[in-house]
Amino acid sequence: MSTIEIKKRLDPLLRQLSTERSLDVAEKIIAELVGLLDIKVGDRFLVNIPRVDAELSRFQLAPGFARQAAAYELPHEDSKPIDLKLFWVKKASKTNLSWLIGLTPNFEDALSNDYKNIGIDFVVPEACDSITVLLSNRFKVRALELKDHITPTQLEIFAQWAKLSEMEIADQNESKNNLHAKLWESFNFEPINRKFYLELVEHFSILVHHLEKNLGRKPAVMFTTRLIGRLLFTWFLKKKNLVNNDSDYFFVSDPGKQGEYYKSQLEKLFFEILNRDELERSNGDRITPYLNGGLFDISTTDFYGDPKLTFPNGYFNQLFNTLNKYNFTVDESSPEFQHVAIDPEMLGRIFESLLAEQIDENTGNSKKKATGAFYTPRDIVSYMCEQSLIEYLKTKISDSPDRDRRIDELVRMPEAIFRDQDQNKRRDWKPYRDSIIKALEGSKTESPLTVLDPAVGSGAFPMGMLHLLVKVYSRLDPKFEKDISKLKRDILSRSLYGVDIEQTAIEITRLRAWLSIIVDIPEGEKVEPLPNLEFKFVCANTLIPLNNTEQATFFTDHSLKDKLIKIRDDYFRTSSKTKKEKLQKDYLKLTQSASLFDNKKTQQLKSYKPFDISSSSEFYDPELMHGVSAFDIVIGNPPYVRADNPAMKEQRKLIMESKTYQTLYEKWDLYVAFIEKGYNLLNQNGIIEFIIPDAYMASKYAIKSHNYFLQNSIISRINFLNEIKVFEAAVKNIIIEYRKGINSDNIPLKIKHTPTFENFIMLPSKSQKQIGEFAFKINNENKSIGNLVNSIKWGEICYVSVGLVLQSEEKLYKGEFIKEDLISNEQDKIHNKEYVEAKWINKYCVKKNKYLEWNTQRVPAKIRRPTFPELYTPEKIMMGGMTGAVIDGKGLLCNHSIDVSVLWISLKDVNNRSITSSIQKDFKIKETTEFRKKLEDNSSKFGLKYLLAILNSKFANYFLNQVRRSQIGFYPDDLKKLPIKNIALSGQQIFIDLVDQILTLKKQNKEADTKNLEAQIDQLVYKLYGLTEDEIGIVEAS
């Protein structure tokens, strides 16, 4: 189907939805959308999901029902393995949409869901004037909103759906994988994002080229940058319905009179409406809010009323045509939740592109090259924000057995999973809640969390940290969710700071901060004036400090800095236009007059012009500019600029003349200075988290930096990203995390990411005093710990499988029962099999068990994955993905949260497809009969308790952590790789005897302390595998 035909079908219905606001119309639109996939839906019917009833307040009531949520299944008889659902909710927020995804896990949400169908959810908000289409992938969400009309870019997306209707779908997982991958890719907005900012850069270049003839290059660039930034900002406001539609601010009546349009409409909007209190306006627009904040203050580069300011014919018509082609959302996406629309993060992409277009006056090169600016991908930003916040909280919260785990859950848990378990998780976090809030907000005796990005660029890290802190607050206590806009204001006010030498960067960072507040203002609620950000995100040279070494003279005003700080504080607290103007005049009065007797410090203080966006301070002083003397977290992506770059010459000279650096050596790169500066800006125990080039690992210029931080910091972690592509540029990267303090016994965590950022392995490491320079190198990442000669892999000794999947089989018995229907706390005739899950086992001990329905009409005949009974009858080892292992000889059953290992010899007479396909897959052979005999022979040489001893050892845990493919636990394929020393049965007996002692104690008392016996096993394992003292230290510390 062509895009023209799709538009003809959808646009009338979308217009009808916006006027009639009817669920029936919404259903017609959905029918058209899934019709593109060649699916014909039947009449909707209400879903039967207990969690929907429990969360009734989230939903609109179903028409015709007094106490039933408007949550519907949309049935169809097509062969495509797709489930369709429709939800009518009170608020289509990210929180609610994430929760809805978790309501009905589908094929794409977990590896164990391979029997389920692909899910496509449709969500209608309370106003019933739009539809949001949801797709998920491992609980990551992509959301596309349709409202009023379908945009050209949305047409491109749904044209891809029409092509999918031609796919042949067989009832096989591979087909479902294929179909889901194509659906998921259709909602990938990256290609459209790229197209958008390239088009916008073209508009930028056209206007700069036109203006520079009359204004000069630099003023033309500054004007155009501000104009496009303001227009995008107001476009986002328009999306939020905050701009008065009756005023026709974006209607250009005559393409030949662009200057006239700009002065009559845009200057009025920028400088008379958005920059003026509603009651002080003369034109009658009382709907568009006064925004404060400085974005719409008139500066010299606005050329207000200047006749030299002209525009190319049709310029705004063409620019608005570009903007109208795309769908916009005010809500920034995250790695977990992506809007299929242009979001405020795009301002950062545009900043990167504009830097590439701007020319450095001194070198003739692009400013992007001169400043070393690279736009940091959001998944990297999110990871670094999470890591640094976790480490900060650990330094503030008293240690306890589960502190680290709870903090990690709080910060990292996927939103869809949290929303599914919110009450339980809030209960788990309650013991730490007050301490965490105190660590974030401060108290009478302690300062609040402070975070600085010293090279803020387009604001990716402050915005990433803002969204993360909002998430943490919301998870700790639902009261914080009542006014997210206010919460964001408070976080910005007390915690987030940024510096950059580029004016454009500061402009865009402030824009994104303001938009982040506006997005959460409830529809129809008055917009409070935005906060003043002139002293939150400042334009300055981070690497040059305020000179405090020069001798003061008789004429020096010793209180000048204090006076400027007093004005700063008063300015930050007011939203009054009149008071702001007075404070600016007071500031100018103190700084505009120079004296021959001014020392260097006074000259610097007077040169700082915080209210002039076109000015960049030649120095940086956090106490003056922010009111903060040191920070808890310094985070960012500092500029990478080589020493031979001509633009660096003057900067290098100034840095060296400041005499404040100890790590600069030979042809040092600019980021080396940023590392030292960032570290010196930290409080004690503060954390610096930077992504930098991997040249830092081996370059000669980094030697001093390496030695300095080995001796003067705690190197918490180094992530090696040199095998993945982070930036479009050729540079490869690492992430460093240093904590302010000294501990030469600290063992740095070394992590290698490959082949994607999400996949990683842990590398061997040693204490800082032992490892020295090798802390920064990856050349020992493949060195195995211990001597693995004469070893056999676990998978060559044991058959390994996950346990039962207890939902009803989807094809024939869909929805007949769920796991909870089959389990009882008490044993009876129906529930006659002892049953365990991973959460009920520890090392060597089953903490509790329940009873599973068995040999009924439902079980095992109708369950999704019955495995085979002989898997459970022999003596076996059971291990959860994140637990220790136990041995069982009683025939315990388990679900798929547990990996079951049975000696091959114990399955000698068992023949089935599962065993055959496992051998074929694992050992890459077709004929299995003779090879299986070899496996059975292997396993006859091992005692199961000997294997259990090895598996529960620290050595095995270290090895599995290195090879595991998931961050949340071990899988059967990981376990199969574990090397087991092939020793005589007599040599195994010492291990077996210790295991017997542990099992005896655990049988008498499940809480029995067996640490000493386990430590004896660890020592035997170290000796067995020939670990050196250093290697033992690595394992013990891991």
* Identity of the highest mean pLDDT range in 160-174, 196-210, 268-282: 196-210
pLDDT of residue 114: 72
617 and 670 inside one domain: no
814 and 771 inside one domain: no
Domain presence at residue 279: yes
Rg value, the chain, Cα: 32
By three-state DSSP, how is residue 78 classified?
coil
Domain presence at residue 451: no
Higher per-residue confidence, 95 vs 645: 95
Q: Which residues contact 307 (CB under 8 A, 6 or more apart)?
A: none
265 and 132 inside one domain: no
pTM of this structure? 0.69
What is the pLDDT of the chain when averaged over all its residues?
88
Q: Taking 50 as the threshold, does the pLDDT of residue 976 lie above it?
A: yes
pLDDT of residue 346: 73
**Region 315-343 average pLDDT:** 86
pLDDT of residue 102: 80
d(CA 33, CA 23): 15
| Domain around 708 | 638-776
Q: Taking 70 as the threshold, does the pLDDT of residue 173 lie above it?
A: no
**Region 663-674 average pLDDT:** 92
100 and 213 inside one domain: no
pLDDT of residue 1015: 96
Domain presence at residue 308: yes
Of the candidates 848, 836, 851, 842, the residue with the CA atom closest to the CA atom of residue 886: 842
Domain presence at residue 675: yes
pLDDT of residue 505: 84
Q: The CATH number of the domain where 656 resides is what? A: 3.40.50.150
Q: Taking 50 as the threshold, does the pLDDT of residue 958 lie above it?
A: yes
Percent of residues, the chain, with pLDDT higher than 90: 53
| Single-letter code of the amino acid located at 1003 | K
pLDDT of residue 353: 60
Q: Which of 162, 187, 212 is the last residue of a domain?
A: 187
pLDDT of residue 356: 52
910 and 924 inside one domain: yes
Per-residue pLDDT reduced to its tens digit, 285-306: 888 888 766 678 888 889 998 8
Per-residue pLDDT reduced to its tens digit, 838-874: 999 999 999 999 999 999 999 999 998 999 999 999 9
916 and 949 inside one domain: yes
Q: Which of 572, 599, 625 is the last residue of a domain?
A: 625
214 and 128 inside one domain: no
Q: Taking 50 as the threshold, does the pLDDT of residue 369 lie above it?
A: no
**Region 758-780 average pLDDT:** 83
Domain presence at residue 116: yes
d(CA 512, CA 508): 6
Q: Taking 80 as the threshold, does the pLDDT of residue 352 lie above it?
A: no
807 and 892 inside one domain: yes
pLDDT of residue 374: 57
**Region 183-187 average pLDDT:** 92
Percent of residues, the chain, with pLDDT higher than 70: 93
Pairing relationship of beta strands 140-147 and 791-793 according to DSSP bridges: unpaired
Domain presence at residue 805: yes
* Identity of the highest mean pLDDT range in 587-591, 686-690, 961-965: 686-690
pLDDT of residue 359: 44
Q: Taking 50 as the threshold, does the pLDDT of residue 966 lie above it?
A: no
**C-alpha pair distances (Å), 409 with each of 381, 432, 648:** 18, 12, 43
* Identity of the highest mean pLDDT range in 196-200, 401-405, 415-419, 628-632: 628-632
Q: Where does the pLDDT of residue 992 fall: very low under 50, low under 70, confident under 90, or very high at 90 and above?
A: very high
Q: The CATH number of the domain where 950 resides is what? A: 3.90.220
Q: Taking 90 as the threshold, does the pLDDT of residue 672 lie above it?
A: yes
Domain presence at residue 390: no
pLDDT of residue 861: 92
DSSP of 330-395: SSPP-SSEEESSB-TTHHHHHHHHHHHHSB-TTTSSBHHHHHT--PPPHHHHHHHHHHHHHHHHHH
Q: Taking 80 as the threshold, does the pLDDT of residue 273 lie above it?
A: yes
DSSP of 229-271: HHHHHHHHHHHTT-S-GGG-TT--S-TT-HHHHIIIIIHIIII
Q: Taking 90 as the threshold, does the pLDDT of residue 524 lie above it?
A: no
Crossing angle of helices 944-951 and 954-963, in 10° steps, is 70
Maximum CA extent, the chain: 100
**C-alpha pair distances (Å), 942 with each of 100, 219, 802, 982:** 49, 79, 22, 8
**Region 333-353 average pLDDT:** 76
**Region 524-543 average pLDDT:** 84
Per-residue pLDDT reduced to its tens digit, 429-459: 999 999 999 999 998 889 999 999 999 988 9
Q: Which of 328, 347, 371 is the last residue of a domain?
A: 328
pLDDT of residue 18: 93
Higher per-residue confidence, 934 vs 327: 934
Higher per-residue confidence, 516 vs 885: 885
Lowest mean pLDDT among 85-99, 799-813, 914-928, 953-967: 953-967
pLDDT of residue 939: 95
Strand order in the sheet with 537-539: 537-539, 496-500, 451-453, 631-636, 682-693, 733-740, 713-720, 749-753, 760-763
Q: Taking 90 as the threshold, does the pLDDT of residue 239 lie above it?
A: no
pLDDT of residue 265: 92
H helices of 85-216, where? 94-103, 152-164, 173-186, 190-215
- Let me know: does 894 contact 803? Beta carbons within 8 Å: yes
Per-residue pLDDT reduced to its tens digit, 922-955: 998 989 999 999 999 999 999 999 999 999 999 9
Exposed/middle/buried for residue 944 (C-beta within 10 Å: 0-12, 13-18, 19+) = buried
Per-residue pLDDT reduced to its tens digit, 213-231: 999 988 898 898 889 888 9
42 and 171 inside one domain: yes
pLDDT of residue 201: 85
| Element holding 85 (H helix, E strand) | strand 82-88
By three-state DSSP, how is residue 831 classified?
strand
754 and 648 inside one domain: yes
**Region 612-636 average pLDDT:** 92
Domain presence at residue 712: yes
Per-residue pLDDT reduced to its tens digit, 708-728: 999 999 999 999 998 888 876
Which region, left, alpha or beta, applies to residue 169 given φ > 0 means left and ψ of -120 to 50 means alpha? beta
Q: Where does the pLDDT of residue 367 fall: very low under 50, low under 70, confident under 90, or very high at 90 and above?
A: very low
Number of independent structural domains in the chain? 5
Which region, left, alpha or beta, applies to residue 725 given φ > 0 means left and ψ of -120 to 50 means alpha? beta
Q: Which residues contact 548 (CB under 8 A, 6 or more apart)?
A: 601
83 and 123 inside one domain: yes
127 and 273 inside one domain: no
pLDDT of residue 573: 80
Of the candidates 395, 391, 1036, the residue with the CA atom closest to the CA atom of residue 767: 1036
